[in-house]
Amino acid sequence: DVKVTQSSRYLVKRTGEKVFLECVQDMDHENMFWYRQDPGLGLRLIYFSYDVKMKEKGDIPEGYSVSREKKERFSLILESASTNQTSMYLCASSYLAGGAGELFFGEGSRLTVL
Amino acid sequence: GEDVEQSLFLSVREGDSSVINCTYTDSSSTYLYWYKQEPGAGLQLLTYIFSNMDMKQDQRLTVLLNKKDKHLSLRIADTQTGDSAIYFCAESSTGYSTLTFGKGTMLLVSP
């Protein structure tokens, strides 16, 4: 069964802390994505990657960075967490580029920044 | 930029049909998707339609596409309480574009 695993389901951090959200997929997919989901705003794309060590900014990259050192792993980094980054973070992967194929999602990481 | 709009909430009774509507602005949209998100879970692909089709049926699901009006709908026949979820419409064009999601429609099915 195909799987996208996000390491933490729930995190509570303090303002100014550095936060790492890890995502691993076991499908050998080239493409990986990080979204945040907020009530009334839907899903917004933060960063995506089409290959190892490659990254592209999405619609809301400010305050975030990413790392893709291995094909199966895509990490989202909040260098200095702020309260407005309290949200649900969803990782996804796909076999085909961009929107040409199905996105497989992890279960999400709910981050609260105090 | 591209925009995808859908109503935020729909309530139906068990056994009725549900129709969730979506409009999009990108005339070059090639792929149109419906994703389902159950409580506490990520999104799962429910169905999709290519822009050269106007209808697709898959068991209880019917997708209708009106390309002229840029309108997409998802009909769920004989809606069950297990269909209660958030349904996201999404679109993309060919090549290396990413998906644009709507804000999601919360479907509540009451017994």
* Residue B63: per-residue pLDDT: 96
Average pLDDT over residues B13-33: 91
Closest partner residue to A103 among B95, B97, B99, by Cβ? B99
The pLDDT value recorded for residue A12 is: 97
pLDDT of the residue at B97 = 66
Q: What is the pLDDT of residues A10-41, one digit of tens each?
A: 999 999 999 999 999 999 998 999 999 998 88
Q: Look at A42 and B103 and tell me if their CB atoms are within 8 Å.
A: yes
CB spacing of B42 vs A50 below 8 angstroms: no
Alpha-carbon distance of A3 to A92, in angstroms, equals 10
**CA-based nearest residue in chain B for residue A9:** B40
Asked whether the predicted pLDDT for residue B108 surpasses 60, the reply is yes
**Contact A100/B at CB under 8 A:** yes
Mean pLDDT of B45-62: 91
The average pLDDT across B62-67 equals 94
Query: Over the stretch A46-97, which tens digit does the pLDDT of each residue have?
Result: 999 988 988 999 999 999 999 999 999 999 999 999 999 999 999 999 887 6
Cα–Cα distance, B42 to B72 (Å, whole number): 22
A74 near B CB under 8 A? no
Burial (0-12, 13-18, 19+ Cβ within 10 Å), A97: middle
For residue A40, the chain B residues in CB contact (below 8 A) are 8, 103
Pairing assessment for the beta strands B9-13 and B105-110 based on DSSP bridges: parallel
Reply yes or no on whether the pLDDT at B1 is more than 60.
no
